[in-house]
Structure 1
Amino acid sequence: MSADRSQSHPGEPVRTPAAIRVSGNRLKHEMSLYLRQHAHNPVDWFAWGDEALNRAKAEQKPIFLSIGYSSCHWCHVMAHEAFEDDEVAAFLNRHFVSIKVDREERPDLDATYMDAVMAMTGSGGWPMSAFLTPDLKPFYGGTYFPKETFLSVLGQIQRVFGENRRAVDDQAERLVSILAQHDRQRQSGLPDETALDEAVRLAIRRYDNVHGGFSGAQKFPTPLVWQFLLTRFRRTGDDLLGGLVRRTLDAMGEGGLHDHVGGGFHRYTVDASWTVPHFEKMLYDNAQLAALYTEAAAVFGEARYAEIARATLDFLIRDLSDEEGAFFASLDADSGGEEGSFYVWTPAEVLAAAGPTDGPALAMLFGVSEGGNFEGKNVLTRRVPPEQVGRIYPATTTPVDKLVGHYAPLLRQTRAERAAPGLDRKVVTSWNGLAISAFARAALHFNDESYRRAASRAADFLLERHRLSDGGLARAANEGRQTGPGMLTDYALFSIGLFDLFQATGAWRYLEEGRRLLELSLSRFRDPAGGFFNTADNAETPLGRRSEIYDSVRPSGNGAMLNALLTAVALTGEPRYREEAETLLRTHGGTLRQMGLEMSAWLIGLERYLGPYYEATIVGEPDEAETQSLIAAFAALCPANAVLIRLDESSLSAAQALAPVAADKGRLNGKPTAWVCRYGLCQKPTRDPAELRQQLLEGWSR
């Protein structure tokens, strides 16, 4: 049924699309880039808040809730086709209260209503389109709608809502009841090592033996899954599993998912071969992938993985950070209105940059051809071995294996003259927590002061600018203005970032702040039935407080809490943290056994819980060569199974207060000494870096 495009609705005067185009809608006052992108739609948008919700109740209109994010390609498509259309806008303005939400600022609303859409349709995605009663209960939903389909849907909803309101309300009540029952389901029981082994077997069954990664028409990097599988390989030494990890890291690093000119990774590829990406770049993907490649470089001794990790971190500093050290949310997939145009090349463009002698060899290295692999142009890849190129082009002025490194800065300069992808300058606390972890771990492993400084600046920014008046955290900030209270993931992932930064710097204030945030998490987010809610006890929750246990491309709130607690108990010796972690595992252990890879952050936590998981305390003054050698031995391993505590004369009082597990450790014969312990049970103290390495690997293969 098509929409009735003339019927009016009583209430406040309806603004015409023409009037809104001239003066803009309410979103022009918002800080979110995603919301401001819609500020001159002819739709009379509201942001989520009292004004919109009270309007819906007063006028008894259905709510059209549209949720997306600034770098979402299909969000832009629906905006162009539907929300910029006067006919669609006029109908929405007359019959609905239309609300826009940035999912990166309000992940709680996104999770709640995405669950509803998936329950109704069996699938989800963005833009998410949900229809709610005035009391915020969902009754219909979907994702992207083309204009005519959308008008038809609007017309049917307007008619049914007006003529059969009771049926709409009944359907909404049933859906809310189903969601509540699903959220309260618990499959308990403390899991054991069989849960880890079964998850590995599932990964092997799903593995794409041709292209690496997991079988499917599209390829997502899923860094959490590969982090777990790498950790499991380090524990077991299973060469089959190690080969799966390596081939996937190679495929991602060589394919079009990886930006070979500017560093970093795109969101996913639209094909099975890792060639043509969906071009958006997200902070959370790149932070996790940088950490993964850093650790893989240590595990496999592969210089190429170190290069990829460093290039990704350098990209984050160069292109995704502000002058005060915080990291921005994302780069858009579109450039100048075209998807991917910033990143693709023709042979002529490569030759113009590298010249007639080196250009053909460089183009071959990058897989550049006249036909191209994306709309007549080329997404760059690195699948052609330099030896093969060297045989065909033996007379290059720059050695073939040095061509990419030599010309990458020039290619970056060339593409900087193109229309750049949009930058979302939103600073999300949890995503910055992931970045702080990545930089801190890389700083320790590579002994790189620039990465140590980047992690410290980001942490200091959050501690100063994202702290609320009650001591808690803001979810995000945009142009200096905080945007809502923090979620569980913000507290947990920032805590982990601070714990990692403490290990990289030896600065005890970071351990103190990490513990403070962890204690706030325990007090404000606790679910009496077990685990933790997404939102704090004083937060707005339209359909009640909900829990998140399944990991996505990022750790779930509860998965992150599990790892924060286990890291904290290793660093501090506080037994209460281990008890909390065990309770969390016991509460959802049955679900973990059943869901496996869908809860990869939990699997990493379970590996730590089962152990052995060590604390390595290195006692010695920072400027002593022996101290530095012991720290270097720890850092070279980039261990998944240990934390580092640095103890010197100046830090004894801090250790007694914050990490009593380390405070009683001393020197052997007055010399710098390492102590490797597990929950207070210590191996023989050592001054030998090689022996320290051996002790850290006890119970692990590498």
Structure 2
Amino acid sequence: MPNQLQYETSPYLLQHAENPVDWYPWGEEALNRATDEDKPILVSIGYSACHWCHVMEHESFEKDGVARVMNENFICIKVDREERPDVDAIYMDAVQAMGVQGGWPLNVFLMPDAKPFYGVTYLPTQNWVQLLGSIRSAFDEHRDDLVRSAEGFATELNISDVERYNLPQTDPLFAPETLDGLYRKVIVKTDDEKGGMNRAPKFPMPSVWRFLLRYHSSVGSLANGSEPGSRGAEPADSQSSDRALHQVALTLDHMALGGIYDQLGGGFARYSTDGDWFAPHFEKMLYDNGQLLTLYAEAYSLTKSPLYRHVVYQTIAFAQRELLSPEGGFYSALDADSEGEEGRFYTFTNPELREILGDEYGWFADLYNLPAQGEESSNWEHGRNILHRTEKDDAFAERMGWSLADLGLRLDATHARLLRVRNERIRPGLDDKILCSWNGLMLKGLVTAYRVFGEPEFLTLALRNAYFLLKKMRDARNGRLWHTYKLGRARQAGFLDDYAAVIDGLLALYQATFTRSWLTEADQLMQYVLANFADQRTVEGTSETADELFFFTDKNSEELIARRKEIFDNVIPASNSMMAENLYTMSLLLERPDYAQRADRMLGRVQPLVQQNADYLTNWAAQFAMRVRPTAEIAIVGPDAERFRAEIDTVFYPNKVICGVSDEGGTGPDGLPLLQHRGTIDGITAIYVCYNRACQLPVTSVADMWPLLR
């Protein structure tokens, strides 16, 4: 008989609905049952695309004997970490406090009051059953010891990071020396040969390269004080600026050519298991691909690399083809496995390739580094090959004596033939829940791609996505966002990262379209955050709030054993770092000095930690890179406002906000502050460059604008 998970919508929970384990979803029913029956709780956390989660299910949770031990001795709760990141974060922190290497599946044992006392990740069946027996014996025979241990971990979880790292409230120091220190902390951890960080496995970590791009831009601007990309006398710090850009390009090149990138269909896998970007863990996550769209589009605007353009266009095509719902939201992930084998959908044997490609096989095998030792040889497991490259198109075409156009035609033809075969295979499982935060990241990626490339279809996808988020994933009664959506039903109160990512996407959408409503929507969401996520506790004996950083959970949400704040950037930037950037951007567009003051207090609070551990706080570091100099406030007024905006956005200059209006009616008292009292010059579109609300004389061309950005 199906267990209690049969009533859930999460694909991960539904995968376990017919396990013989008497699983419950996280909630009052299971927690109350643990109290009533005085049983320890087993919380098992994972996600649908998690390979080792599947392995542990097949080896243990599907076995009647194992399930019997679990059911008799524990209240068993299954959690989708993507649906409940708040629960996952608390118990992951607890397990790491126990000295256990974190990961998924995450199996945590709790007292009946939900306080943790032990945790592990994947275990083979025999070890798992032995552990279950030991845990139950300890619960029965050494209860007092476990209670003390659980109380200790619960106390540890309730220590804020501000207390843990002794972070005083100070004014942030936006200085070149500070920025240089952050750069050195990050660059020393990078791989000079293959790109990425100097460790394996290798994750894309978009915020690292985003910081280095902004460092390069900021240092270059400080040195030259002129049009982006220009060079005066070589300054002393130009070497670090050049190295930062080189490291970004090295990383993006190797990722785009490596096995972590789907060479046939587009889109990135979650990480590479090796240090060469060769063998991916084949699951594809929306959050990676949304952020990497932004990163590759920005990098293209600086380098004009054809490879980066190809990645952006092909990745958007992949997302539209395989992740886009009919309503305009994007699904969460594609599994790594199909037909019981990791990567089977994406890989080919040599005989398959020879049969499909015929006479084209020789040069294709050369380009994609296929082994030449015979029919049965392969570069990966089970006689299969991962397609990966070491040469860009221009280098390979020159070596073959072909034109780039000729190579392009050959690639299109061979890829189409291989895709036809691949598309007939059993596909990897699709996690078809729609997550608000990940869609916000994808919205930002689509908008950035539109701003850089001007492709109308990218904007169409972005607009559909934005309408979906605001119509289907926002509660019309109170303005609150929902975290997850499936089968027409939105559920679970939004977390801080939902608001942070969606606000960021809406701010980008306003600056791409100059449609005021997107900015208004972003500010309404910000007002909700300020009212419901702020730390309202006061410092004893003063009227000051305890901390300017935001909680991860809404004050109206379920109360867990700890209420945490997210500070460290990871594969997704910390929600507080995103929110600080949103506050600063909105302060300029809406002339809200209170927003800027709050952003500064947040940056001041974390600055000591950023200076010590910049490689773990790179999205914070990126904001310090931008704040070394004043931010350019660019206002465009006139019939050519959209054309001028498009021309400006082809150049990488991140330290700006941009607003515009096509007619002078929008510059009146109801218009944006930056647009008020601005007009055309004799009917000709004018560009105003301002710093700290002080504007220089307007110009009538983008070429004349660049020298004003000093």
Asked whether the two chains share a fold, i.e. TM above 0.5, the reply is yes
**Structure 1 pair 393–667 and aligned structure 2 pair: CA distance change class (3 A):** closer
Q: d(CA) in 1 for partners of 2:189 and 2:300? A: 25
Checking the alignment, whether the CA contact within 8 Å between 1:347 and 1:363 is kept in structure 2 is no
Matches within 5 A, 1:415-434: 415-434=422-441
Which position in structure 2 is the counterpart of 1:60? 38
Q: d(CA) in 2 for partners of 1:332 and 1:592? A: 35
Moved more, 368-377 or 325-334: 368-377
Q: d(CA) in 1 for partners of 2:246 and 2:106? A: 38
Pairing partner for 1:208 from 169, 191, 194? 191
Q: Which amino acid aligns with 2:195?
A: G
Residue 181 of structure 1: SS of its match in structure 2? coil
Matches within 5 A, 1:464-613: 464-468=471-475, 469-527=477-535, 528-530=545-547, 531-613=549-631
Which position in structure 2 is the counterpart of 1:221? 204
Q: Which amino acid aligns with 2:63?
A: D
1:333 Cα deviation from its structure 2 partner: 0.6
Moved more, 346-355 or 23-32: 346-355
Moved more, 366-375 or 298-307: 366-375
Which position in structure 2 is the counterpart of 1:7? none
Checking the alignment, whether the CA contact within 8 Å between 2:167 and 2:605 is kept in structure 1 is yes
Residue 535 of structure 1: SS of its match in structure 2? coil
Moved more, 346-355 or 202-211: 346-355
Pairing partner for 1:362 from 347, 361, 364? 364
1:617 Cα deviation from its structure 2 partner: 1.2
The runs of 4+ residues in structure 1 deviating greater than 4 Å are 385-398, 655-658
Moved more, 235-244 or 395-404: 395-404
Q: d(CA) in 2 for partners of 1:227 and 1:183? A: 25
Checking the alignment, whether the CA contact within 8 Å between 1:42 and 1:85 is kept in structure 2 is yes
Cα deviation code 1:379-435 (max 9, x no counterpart)? 111214557755886699982344223332332222011111111111111111111
**Structure 1 pair 590–406 and aligned structure 2 pair: CA distance change class (3 A):** same
Matches within 5 A, 1:96-115: 96-115=74-93
**Structure 1 pair 364–688 and aligned structure 2 pair: CA distance change class (3 A):** same
Q: d(CA) in 1 for partners of 2:398 and 2:646? A: 40
Cα deviation code 1:454-486 (max 9, x no counterpart)? 111011001011112321000111222123000
Checking the alignment, whether the CA contact within 8 Å between 1:566 and 1:605 is kept in structure 2 is no
**Structure 1 pair 477–388 and aligned structure 2 pair: CA distance change class (3 A):** closer
Residue 39 of structure 1: SS of its match in structure 2? coil
Which position in structure 2 is the counterpart of 1:665? 678
Bigger relative CO (Cα 8 Å, ≥ 6 apart):
2
Q: d(CA) in 2 for partners of 1:98 and 1:498? A: 40
Which position in structure 1 is the counterpart of 2:663? 649
Which position in structure 1 is the counterpart of 2:253? 250
Which position in structure 1 is the counterpart of 2:338? 335
Q: Which amino acid aligns with 1:467?
A: R
Checking the alignment, whether the CA contact within 8 Å between 1:46 and 1:52 is kept in structure 2 is yes
* Identity between Structure 1 and Structure 2 (%): 39
1:687 Cα deviation from its structure 2 partner: 0.4
Which position in structure 2 is the counterpart of 1:277? 280
Q: Which amino acid aligns with 1:675?
A: Y
Cα deviation code 1:95-126 (max 9, x no counterpart)? 10000011111111111110000000242011
Q: d(CA) in 1 for partners of 2:530 and 2:79? A: 28
Cα deviation code 1:248-269 (max 9, x no counterpart)? 1111111111111111100111
Residue 35 of structure 2: SS of its match in structure 1? helix
Q: d(CA) in 1 for partners of 2:158 and 2:624? A: 27
Q: d(CA) in 2 for partners of 1:619 and 1:413? A: 49
Matches within 5 A, 1:379-418: 379-384=386-391, 399-418=406-425
Matches within 5 A, 1:23-38: 23-38=1-16
Q: Which amino acid aligns with 2:524?
A: R
**Structure 1 pair 245–59 and aligned structure 2 pair: CA distance change class (3 A):** same
Matches within 5 A, 1:86-165: 86-165=64-143
Which position in structure 2 is the counterpart of 1:676? 689
Which position in structure 1 is the counterpart of 2:144? 166
1:692 maps onto 2:710 in alignment: no
**Structure 1 pair 618–330 and aligned structure 2 pair: CA distance change class (3 A):** same
Q: d(CA) in 1 for partners of 2:631 and 2:685? A: 23
Which position in structure 2 is the counterpart of 1:192? 174
Which position in structure 1 is the counterpart of 2:329? 326
Q: d(CA) in 2 for partners of 1:606 and 1:658? A: 30
Q: d(CA) in 1 for partners of 2:388 and 2:696? A: 48
Which position in structure 1 is the counterpart of 2:228? none
Checking the alignment, whether the CA contact within 8 Å between 1:298 and 1:637 is kept in structure 2 is yes
Cα deviation code 1:587-626 (max 9, x no counterpart)? 22222222212111111222333333222111112xxxx4
Residue 419 of structure 2: SS of its match in structure 1? helix
**Structure 1 pair 138–692 and aligned structure 2 pair: CA distance change class (3 A):** same
Q: Which amino acid aligns with 1:288?
A: Q
Checking the alignment, whether the CA contact within 8 Å between 2:182 and 2:610 is kept in structure 1 is no
Checking the alignment, whether the CA contact within 8 Å between 2:328 and 2:464 is kept in structure 1 is yes
1:373 maps onto 2:385 in alignment: no
**Structure 1 pair 280–650 and aligned structure 2 pair: CA distance change class (3 A):** farther
Which position in structure 2 is the counterpart of 1:12? none
Residue 421 of structure 1: SS of its match in structure 2? coil
Q: d(CA) in 1 for partners of 2:399 and 2:625? A: 49
Q: d(CA) in 2 for partners of 1:681 and 1:385? A: 46
1:442 maps onto 2:449 in alignment: yes
TM-score (norm 1): 0.92
Residue 484 of structure 1: SS of its match in structure 2? strand
Checking the alignment, whether the CA contact within 8 Å between 2:267 and 2:318 is kept in structure 1 is yes
Q: d(CA) in 2 for partners of 1:53 and 1:663? A: 57
Q: Which amino acid aligns with 1:677?
A: C
Q: d(CA) in 2 for partners of 1:447 and 1:385? A: 25
1:291 maps onto 2:298 in alignment: no
Which position in structure 2 is the counterpart of 1:459? 466
Cα deviation code 1:12-39 (max 9, x no counterpart)? xxxxxxxxxxx21111110000000101
1:692 Cα deviation from its structure 2 partner: 1.9
TM-score (norm 2): 0.91
Checking the alignment, whether the CA contact within 8 Å between 2:642 and 2:662 is kept in structure 1 is no
1:272 Cα deviation from its structure 2 partner: 0.7
1:166 Cα deviation from its structure 2 partner: 1.3
Pairing partner for 1:232 from 211, 215, 222? 215
1:161 Cα deviation from its structure 2 partner: 0.6
Which position in structure 2 is the counterpart of 1:16? none
Cα deviation code 1:458-517 (max 9, x no counterpart)? 110010111123210001112221230000110111001011111122221111101110
1:441 Cα deviation from its structure 2 partner: 1.2
Moved more, 159-168 or 61-70: 159-168
1:650 Cα deviation from its structure 2 partner: 7.5
Q: d(CA) in 2 for partners of 1:388 and 1:597? A: 34
User: Runs of 5+ in structure 2 lacking a partner?
Assistant: 221-240, 536-544
1:694 Cα deviation from its structure 2 partner: 3.1
Checking the alignment, whether the CA contact within 8 Å between 2:186 and 2:614 is kept in structure 1 is no
**Structure 1 pair 396–438 and aligned structure 2 pair: CA distance change class (3 A):** closer
Checking the alignment, whether the CA contact within 8 Å between 1:485 and 1:539 is kept in structure 2 is yes
Q: d(CA) in 1 for partners of 2:354 and 2:708? A: 53
Checking the alignment, whether the CA contact within 8 Å between 1:191 and 1:592 is kept in structure 2 is no
1:353 Cα deviation from its structure 2 partner: 3.1
**Structure 1 pair 135–686 and aligned structure 2 pair: CA distance change class (3 A):** same
Q: Which amino acid aligns with 1:679?
A: N
1:630 Cα deviation from its structure 2 partner: 1.7
Checking the alignment, whether the CA contact within 8 Å between 2:632 and 2:691 is kept in structure 1 is yes
Checking the alignment, whether the CA contact within 8 Å between 1:47 and 1:101 is kept in structure 2 is yes
Checking the alignment, whether the CA contact within 8 Å between 1:570 and 1:614 is kept in structure 2 is no
CA RMSD of aligned residues (A): 2.0
Residue 475 of structure 1: SS of its match in structure 2? strand
